[in-house]
Amino acid sequence: MNELKKINIADLNWELLSILIIVITIVVFSGALSANIAEKKGQKYIRHFFLGLIIPIAYPIFILGGMKSKLKKKTSDAQINEEDEDDGFPELDIAIDINEDFFKQYPTDNKGHRAGPFIFETDQGIITAQFIIEIQKELLVINTVDSKGKEQTLRLPYNKIISCNT
């Protein structure tokens, strides 16, 4: 029967073992670095991990400078689209009639109020309403909170409203 030989630590070739550990570390690090670079540039990382293992050190350097970034391309396409939109003409909003019918589309709570918050842009500034108390033919009755935290009831005519966001 074969007996297992006991390995004596003194008999190990420490130089060869340390070189082997360093080489394996460099190879695995190269694969991980390649995968990381590829992922940051919007590429699939598995293929680049294995290429980094097969061609250590050189492949991560190659893809660091040579790989086209899908993310940069998407960003540059978005910037081109923004530049196309910014052609010197003022941006036009779609005209929506802000009237009684516009606010009736919002659902009511159990008290009959239309729950907000509603942000109204008027010619005198921004008004934030917690809810709409009543919708009348010519104006809204809204509930707001002033800077001191006190509730206020305001009447806001439709012709003073520039825009409304919920």
Residue 132 neighbours by CB under 8 Å, 6+ apart: 103, 106, 113, 114, 116, 118, 140, 141, 142, 143
**What pTM, to 2 d.p., does this model score?**
0.40
Tell me the pLDDT tens digit for each residue of 39-57: 888 888 899 999 999 999 8
CB 149 within 8 Å of CB 142 = no
Domain annotation for the chain: domains and CATH numbers: 10-85 (no CATH), 100-165 (2.30.30)
Higher-pLDDT residue of 159 and 88 is 159
Tell me the pLDDT tens digit for each residue of 82-140: 655 555 555 555 556 677 777 777 767 777 677 777 888 888 888 888 888 888 888 88
